[in-house]
Amino acid sequence: MHDGTRVLAGECTTTFEGSRDQEHHGEVLIVCKPDNTVLVHDSDGYQPVAWLTRADSVSLRDGTLTATDGDQRLRVETHEEYGSASYPTSPAGVPVGDCPGCDGRLVRADGAVRCLGCDTRHGIPRDATVLDESCECGHPRMRVARGRAFEVCIDRDCESLDEAVKAAYDREWSCPHCDGDLRILRRGGLLAGCEHYPDCDTGWGIPAGTVVGECDCGLPRFETGTGERCLDSGCQTA
């Protein structure tokens, strides 16, 4: 229905049908977000009196807003409109610097660093620490622990975390189930997998932590935020 956030104020009747059938009447503020979340607020507190999160469809016709999601429907009929407007909105996050492309502010939110000016987005690991130091390209650098601490640019086209981990650990460890080496691969996440795949499907995700020694099973042990563990999270070796 809209690109920004639509705000409407007026005397309205709100009807919700679905998991909690209810009806409200009063002077309210309706907020329609870009992800089709609809919130109906009255004058009391922070909790909306009615809402529908990420609706399948939202429409506004002849003063009546209708949002539907499966068998749930939120309907807001405006009897007297006090005002309406549409405003640009963005994710709100922790400031981490300035965008080298447009000088807009960079913020960290929802597993990414985003520019509030040009909407550029760089996905980063959730455990990454964004540093005050900037790369030569102008983007911030980040520190990520994958076997050891790597410092790379947040822009993977500038510097690849995968390639840094691969340079450090590709073929560094042997497969415990055959005579192959463990390769550093990207399959959904970053993992150490046997070079003889699919004949040998041995493989484990590389944990967020640093290598501190060798497990009795022969695989590396990692110091993580929740304690020390083997690369093989199911390892039973003492």
Tens-digit pLDDT profile for residues 109-156: 989 999 998 889 999 999 999 999 999 999 999 999 999 999 999 999
CA-based nearest residue to 156, from 125, 184, 127, 188: 125
Which CATH number applies to 5-87?
Answer: 2.70.180.20
Residue type for position 158: C
CB atoms within 10 A of CB 20: 8
User: Do 123 and 91 meet the contact criterion of CB atoms below 8 Å apart?
Assistant: no
Q: Which pLDDT does position 106 carry in this prediction? A: 96
Q: Is the pTM of this model over 0.85?
A: no
Q: What is the pLDDT along the chain (238 residues), one digit of tens a residue?
A: 346 899 999 999 999 998 778 999 999 999 999 999 999 999 999 999 999 999 999 999 999 999 999 999 999 999 999 999 999 888 889 999 999 999 899 999 989 999 998 889 999 999 999 999 999 999 999 999 999 999 999 999 999 999 999 999 999 999 999 999 999 999 888 999 999 999 999 999 999 999 999 999 999 999 999 999 999 988 987 5
- In sequence order, what are the residues at sequence separation of 6 or more whose Cβ sits closer than 8 angstroms to the Cβ of residue 223? 209, 210, 212
Annotated domain spans of the chain: 5-87, 94-159, 170-230
> What pLDDT, on the 0 to 100 scale, is given for residue 28?
98
Question: Of 234, 233, 216, nearest to 224 (Cα)?
Answer: 233
- Express as a percent the part of the chain with pLDDT over 70: 98
Residue 191 φ then ψ, to 5° = -140, 165
DSSP 164: H
Which value, in Å, is the radius of gyration of the alpha carbons in the chain? Answer: 25
pLDDT confidence of residue 19: 76
3-class SS at 67?
strand
pLDDT value for 187: 86
Residue length, the chain?
238
